[in-house]
Structure 1
């Protein structure tokens, strides 16, 4: 019986692309804007360990999957997330080389992840589904609104496009595993509330840590610009909010947001940009 809900025309396959961002991260790479640069860097700081946890949570259950299609997508999911972890480790090392106290930020997040790894496998997988929803919604928004990355360096635009494409491709894999192996919808929604708190908490704390090093933590102008970016115009969080909250519906499924046309369009841009290099 097929339990995978990934559309037939979507392939969950890792792309072995390398991004040298060491020069880009020596500066405020997002249009010389301190807040926008810090916000995206703050997201990156969570990815290496977070995505390794996603892999571990799904691996707990993969031997229970009989559907060959979903089994193949699990392999693709693991491959994609492993490469994301690798590239963001390099990204974060470049931030460290610039002088940010990445070790202190990592220690803070590692304490949380140690707690997560002690949870029962069902809760770890529920947490993965919730976190994957956040990455999928943000990925869709980045692909749909290229103006959000206007002013960013070309390499950084390509890195975030690549990451967003693959998060979109595998957005239902962990969810399908959870639905088949755990199936507790109440647990799924309760855990999402904890994921929401921690996602915004660590993104905010990381952003503050980076802005402190830049000497912008107490800059009213920086924060007003940041609040406008997130909640005003373009309103990154404001415009994503309905899609974030859709996860709380009892009938929710990731591919209810069918963005395959957007995925194809951005794949063409990624491949043409990569070929040009």
Structure 2
């Protein structure tokens, strides 16, 4: 019986792209806006170690999968996440040119990820499904609302679009492995609460750390602009909130958000 739920027309395959963002990361690359730049940089800081943990969690169950389609998608998932980890590691290293103490921020997050890596395999995989849900919803939003990246430098736009495309393509792979090998709905939803807390915790802490170095941590204007960006207009998190919460439904599945047409359109633009 086929257990892969990736729909027809969607292929999970890594694209070996490289992005030279060193020069752009010396600047406030997102429209010269301190908060928007710090927010996206704060997300990037979690990706190298976070995505390696996603790979590790799926590998724990890879040998239990017999469906050839899902086995192929697991291989593609690992390839995509490995390349994301590589590009964001270079991205984060380049942030040091602005005086950020990236090593300290990495150590803080690595301590958390080491704890995650000591959890039982089922909890690690449930955590991966939850974190993949956040990246999939944010990826969909970035693809659907190109105006959210208005003012960003060209290479940074492309890097985030590429990442969003591939997160969309593989958004059900870990979920399908979990459903086939673990299947507990209560564990999936309980672990998502912890994932939610840690996702927002480290994004907030990283954003504050970056703004402190920029001398903007106590700037009321910076925070008002940031709150408007996230919760007002355009309202990045506000518009994503219903999709975030959909994960708690008993019948939830990542492809209930069927954004294949959006994916195809962005793929054409990326390749162009």
Bucket of the pairwise TM-score, normalised by the shorter protein: over 0.9
The equivalent residue for 1:275 is none
Q: In the TM superposition, what is the alpha-carbon distance from 1:97 to its structure 2 partner?
A: 2.6
Report how far residue 96 of structure 1 moved: 1.4
Aligned: 1:196 with 2:209: no
Corresponding position: 1:210 with 2:185: no
Stretches (4+) displaced over 3 A? none
- Alpha-carbon deviation of 1:233? 0.1
SS at 2:63 equivalent: helix
Measured in 2, the distance between the counterparts of 1:180 and 1:108 equals 33
In 2: Cα distance, 1:8 partner to 1:71 partner? 16
The worse-fitting range, judged by mean Cα deviation, of 31-40 and 93-102 is: 93-102
Q: CA deviation at 1:98?
A: 2.3
Cα distance between partner residues in 1 of 2:94 and 2:155: 14
Partner deviation per Cα, 1:126-169 (whole Å, 9 max, x = no partner): 00000000000000000000000000000000000000000000
CA RMSD for the aligned pairs?
Answer: 0.4
CA distance in 2, matches of 1:247, 1:120: 21
Cα displacement string for residues 87-112 of structure 1 (whole angstroms, at most 9, x for unaligned residues): 00000000013210001101110111
- C-alpha distance in structure 2 between counterparts of 1:182 and 1:218, whole Å: 46
Aligned residue number for residue 179 of structure 1: 179
5+ long unaligned stretches in structure 1: 273-277
Gaps of 5+ in 2: none
Deviation at 1:28, TM superposition (A): 0.1
Residue 36 of structure 1 corresponds to which residue in structure 2?
A: 36
Per mean C-alpha deviation after superposition, the further-off stretch among 148-157 and 96-105 is 96-105
The aligned length equals 272
Partner of 1:62: 62
Matched, 1:75 2:65: no
Q: Normalising by structure 1, what TM-score?
A: 0.98
1:92-111 to 2 correspondences below 5 Å: 92-111=92-111
* CA offset digits 1:229-255 (Å, max 9, x no partner): 000000000000000000000000000
Alignment of 1:1-277 (within 5 A): 1-272=1-272
| Rounded Cα–Cα distance in structure 1 between residues aligned with 2:15 and 2:210 | 30
For residues 83 and 206 of structure 1, what CA distance do their matches in structure 2 show?
22
- Partner of 1:151, secondary structure, is coil
